[in-house]
Amino acid sequence: MAAGTARKSYDGIVAAVPVTVPYERFSIHPAQWWLGRALRALVDASGISHRDFDGFAMASFSTAPDTAIGLTQHFGLSPRWLDHVPMGGVAGVISLRRAARAVQAGDADIVACVGGDTNHVDSFRKTQANFSRFAQDASYPYGAGGANASFALIARNYMNCFGARREDFGKLCVAQRENALKNPNALMKKPLTLDQYMTARAIADPIHLFDCVMPCAGAEAFLVMREETAKSLGLAYAHILSTIERHHAFADDDVQYRGGWVRDIEELYAMAGVTPDMIDVLQTYDDYPVISMMQFEDLGFCRKGEGPDFVRSHTFEIEGSFPHNTSGGQLSVGQAGAAGGHLGIVEALRQVMGTAGPTQVIGAHIGLASGFGMINYDRGLASGAVILAGSKT
């Protein structure tokens, strides 16, 4: 970053009221219904009328032909600040960033950030077929629709470069399943062993069944407001210490082995005034375990190429040496479309506010949540992260 261009802090701006609309494997309801239920949950949990949400940030893959503007009438909203964030797994971070700046500038007082999608019997296939022009022209017509083939390429390249083994990915998946068993909202209700992981059927080698998220229907949401507003309403909240986002970060990499976090990670920690060893709980975007391993490196917990050794030397359960994806993450909770980009933020908020219940990490006060997404064939184009702290800071 050039001298003199340091960003303004988020002092005085907080996130509050993390809510989840429990997921369902399939749903007859449209995405609008799920997003509406999330707004209802925000109202019920905060005691604030939806008519007082004067900002609305919406992320979804399946509201077409509606966008956020059409849903204002559908939901009875009259916002003076509106955003539609079609960025998949990074949408939650971007919604939070934009909402925080809007509140800071006085363009809105209370912003509802909502991500959600439905999942009909055939809706996932349709989403993948129309995910991007790249998917339509260069991937889907050849039978490689969806992310499995792309992440097989990324995972194999990472394994070849840095010596990661399937057992290493499996360790993360097994730990997340253990965490998910404590989360009443998780769709995966059965324990997972490393042997089950290793012997599961191949999907797109080296990707096997338990490397893949389960598409489902559901929604996640939270509010962004001024600290004084949260206090006046008697709401628990978390301070937004810092955020970053980056798109199409390393065009010269033949196949992605790092994400855009690398470009801005020093700013993320400097702005927050913390170091990686001060993070109590980490929520990585986990559509596949290789991406979580990549983030351990790119988010500063170990150096590039040390991800496999980092995984081998830590435990990732709620009570482990490195609590990670404490809700179970998308791999064991499910991936409700664009809600997947909000899942980690919602869990991080609960952790640092001390309201995570059965998934609570004892003493968690500072949390980091990341986002990743918008996959083309050989890379994800978007990455972001936020550091949050409990209100004692």
pLDDT given for residue 124 in this prediction: 65
Q: How many helices and strands in the chain, by DSSP H and E?
A: 14, 11
Question: Under a CB-based contact definition with an 8 Å cutoff, are residues 347 and 304 in contact?
Answer: no
pLDDT given for residue 128 in this prediction: 65
Q: Which of 89, 92, 112 is nearest to 102 (CA)?
A: 112
pTM given for the model: 0.95
Per-residue b or e along 112-131, where b marks 16 or more CB atoms closer than 10 Å to that residue's CB = bbbbbbbbeeebbeebbeeb
Question: Under a CB-based contact definition with an 8 Å cutoff, are residues 91 and 338 in contact?
Answer: yes
DSSP-derived pairing of the beta strands 237-247 and 13-24: antiparallel
pLDDT given for residue 393 in this prediction: 40
CA distance linking residue 126 with residue 237, whole number of Å: 38
Question: Under a CB-based contact definition with an 8 Å cutoff, are residues 391 and 366 in contact?
Answer: no
Structure letter (DSSP) for residue 110? E
The residue type found at 31 is A
Tens-level pLDDT at each residue, the chain (393 residues):
445 567 899 999 999 999 999 999 999 999 999 999 999 999 999 999 999 999 999 999 989 899 999 999 999 999 999 999 999 899 999 999 999 999 999 999 999 999 999 997 666 666 666 666 666 676 666 666 678 888 999 999 999 999 999 999 999 999 999 999 999 999 999 999 999 999 999 999 999 999 999 999 999 999 999 999 999 999 999 999 999 999 999 999 999 999 999 999 999 999 999 999 999 999 999 999 999 999 999 999 999 999 999 999 999 999 999 999 999 999 999 999 999 999 999 999 999 999 999 999 999 999 999 999 888 878 889 999 999 999 854
